[in-house]
């Protein structure tokens, strides 16, 4: 009989057939990853490699781990966020695809880390993280595993920031490829993926009309640009808050109102944080909000919102809908926080649509293959995804979308390489 370690820890195995059907549906929108999977099945670039994956357990992630498995890897999966797991997908991976999966939607923090430990217990050679929790757990608690490890891949902005901090402190334990930094990842996933799925999560959680409301977007990076443009498209008045003068200027010239959060707090109906920073909405901002304001986060960690400060201001709390906590504050006003401040798109909706994750996970799969082949030449540093991978992903995606582009003529190539042609 197989143990929990071999099968994984999921909520309900009877959901496995439903999960498989959803995984197949997502696969039909992931043609680039499908081609990589086919190539992996022939070439087996990951033969014998144990991969510990700490990712959002979604239909798209399922297709990624199946591609890695086709490449010869043995993959063990846990969640990278307590609320982002799709329980039917976790069940399908464990039951139908021999991927032991340790993830239950709504798990508490202790279970979240217990699941990470289950993945660590398989002694991975390679990590695949979304937020860097696996690397930091191995580095801080399981140093003895490092001698057999070859490297890792990181999916998101916040994870890459943490890895750079480890490298700066001289404690990065192995080479890591920053998948987030591939252009075919963040220009599309962070912008169009987060843009659409954040609004999707907000609407599913609340059924609120966006048109006619003032939406405050905190942070105008790749995710913020996407969220702001989608909210505008649905008819909101959009306010952007920033700390970076260039991004603030860009937001202003893109047609958004830009002001400090202390001002925005007073006029917003809906607040969405996407900064990757700490307590960007603080106690005094909650206090200043209009009665009934809705607040959610789509950045990696829920500490973008100072929920402890809000708790201290709260006199009573109700749960009018599954993902809504209505906090009645001492000042008599109520603010509604969605999904306990966890990533709203993955908590209340399904995360990014598969056609955008097709590119992100094509980068992940190819980066893992590259790492397995080249780790001996790499140092304990954060590396960008090699440019040839980015270019290949873009070409494959264009081909899948049946979009043709021009090729420069010989004359144009010569012209662009020369300095002598002037006015
Ligand atoms: N929800 C998702 O599915 C999803 C997808 C991709 C990335 N992410 C996460 O979203 C976050 C943002 O990612 P990104 O790629 O947009 O990063 P980014 O670095 O491109 O943008 C972050 C922006 O926030 C701004 N900022 C920082 N502190 C601020 C503050 N106090 N007030 C206002 N603005 C502030 C920065 O100046 C920057 O412009 C990260 O945590 C990332 O991991 C989430």
pLDDT in tens, 74-85: 999 999 999 999
Q: What whole-number percentage of the chain has pLDDT above 70?
A: 99
Can you tell me which atom of ligand 1 is nearest the CA of 190? 6
Q: Is the CB of 223 under 6 A from ligand 1?
A: yes
**Dihedral pair phi/psi, residue 259, rounded to 5°:** -160, 165
Q: Is the CB of 84 under 6 A from ligand 1?
A: no
Q: Which of 1-10, 253-262, 338-347 has the lowest mean pLDDT?
A: 1-10
Find the 245 Cα to ligand 1 centroid distance in Å.
15
Q: Is the CB of 220 under 6 A from ligand 1?
A: yes
Mean pLDDT on 297-313: 97
Find the 217 Cα to ligand 1 centroid distance in Å.
11
pLDDT digits (tens, 9 = 90+) for 139-162: 999 999 999 999 999 999 999 999
Helix, strand, coil abundance in the chain, percent, nearest 5: 50, 15, 30
Mean pLDDT on 80-91: 97
Instruction: Let me know if 183 is exposed, middle or buried by CB neighbors in 10 A (0-12, 13-18, 19+).
Output: middle
Q: Is the CB of 299 under 6 A from ligand 1?
A: yes
Going by alpha carbons, the residue nearest to atom 21 of ligand 1 is 221
Q: Which of 2-6, 25-29, 194-198 has the lowest mean pLDDT?
A: 2-6
Q: Is the CB of 338 under 6 A from ligand 1?
A: no
Instruction: Let me know if 312 is exposed, middle or buried by CB neighbors in 10 A (0-12, 13-18, 19+).
Output: exposed
Both structure tokens of 217 = 């977007």
Find the 314 Cα to ligand 1 centroid distance in Å.
28
Under a CB-based contact definition with an 8 Å cutoff, are residues 277 and 300 in contact? Answer: no
Q: Is the CB of 374 under 6 A from ligand 1?
A: no
Q: Is the CB of 61 under 6 A from ligand 1?
A: no
Can you tell me which atom of ligand 1 is nearest the CA of 247? 39
Going by alpha carbons, the residue nearest to atom 38 of ligand 1 is 221
Find the 239 Cα to ligand 1 centroid distance in Å.
16
Find the 235 Cα to ligand 1 centroid distance in Å.
23
Find the 342 Cα to ligand 1 centroid distance in Å.
14
Question: What is the edge-to-edge ordering of all strands in the sheet holding 270-273?
Answer: 257-258, 237-241, 214-218, 270-273, 293-297, 334-338, 324-329, 314-321
Separation CA 180–CA 269 (nearest Å) = 31
Q: b/e string for 397-423 if b means 16 or more Cβ within 10 A?
A: beebeeeeeeeeeeeeeeeeeeeeeee
* Whether pLDDT at 170 is above 70: yes
Going by alpha carbons, the residue nearest to atom 40 of ligand 1 is 276
């Amino acid at each position: 009989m197989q143990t929990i370690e071999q099968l994984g820890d999921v909520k309900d195995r009877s959901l496995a057939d439903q999960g498989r059907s959803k995984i197949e549906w997502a696969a039909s929108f992931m043609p680039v990853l499908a081609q990589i999977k086919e190539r992996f099945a022939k070439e087996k670039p990951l033969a014998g490699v144990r991969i510990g994956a700490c990712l959002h357990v979604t239909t798209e992630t399922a297709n990624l781990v199946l591609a890695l498995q086709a490449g010869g890897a043995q993959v063990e999966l846990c969640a990278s966020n307590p609320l982002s797991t799709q329980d039917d997908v976790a069940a399908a991976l464990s039951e139908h695809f021999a991927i032991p999966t340790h993830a239950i939607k709504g798990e508490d923090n202790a279970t979240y880390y217990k699941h990470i430990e289950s993945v660590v217990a398989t002694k991975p050679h390679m990590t695949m993280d979304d937020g860097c929790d696996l690397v930091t757990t191995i580095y801080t608690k399981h140093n003895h595993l490092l001698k057999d490890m070859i490297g890792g891949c990181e999916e998101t902005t916040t994870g890459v920031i943490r890895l750079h901090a480890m490298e700066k402190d001289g404690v990065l334990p192995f080479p890591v490829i920053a998948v987030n930094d591939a252009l075919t990842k963040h220009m599309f996933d962070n912008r169009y993926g987060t843009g659409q799925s954040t609004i999707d999560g907000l609407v599913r959680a609340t059924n609120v009309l966006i048109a006619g409301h003032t939406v405050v977007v905190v942070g105008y990076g790749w995710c913020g640009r996407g969220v702001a443009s989608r909210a505008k498209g649905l008819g909101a008045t959009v306010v952007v808050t920033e700390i970076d003068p260039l991004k603030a200027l860009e937001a202003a010239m893109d047609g958004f109102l830009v002001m400090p959060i202390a001002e925005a707090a007073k006029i917003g109906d809906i607040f969405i944080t996407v900064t990757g920073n700490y307590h960007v909405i603080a106690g005094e901002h909650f206090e200043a909000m209009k009665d009934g304001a809705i607040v959610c986060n789509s950045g990696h960690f829920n500490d973008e919102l100072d929920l402890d400060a809000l708790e201290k201001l709260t006199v009573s709390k109700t749960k009018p809908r599954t993902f809504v906590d209505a906090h009645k504050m001492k000042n008599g006003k109520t603010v509604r926080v969605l999904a306990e401040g966890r990533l709203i798109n993955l908590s209340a909706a399904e995360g990014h649509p598969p056609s955008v994750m097709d590119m992100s996970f094509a980068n992940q799969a190819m980066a893992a293959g590259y790492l397995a082949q080249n780790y001996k030449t790499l140092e304990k540093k954060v590396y960008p995804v090699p440019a040839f991978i980015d270019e290949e992903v873009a070409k494959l995606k264009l081909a899948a979308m049946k979009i043709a582009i021009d090729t420069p003529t010989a004359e144009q190539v010569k012209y662009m390489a020369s300095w002598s042609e002037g006015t």
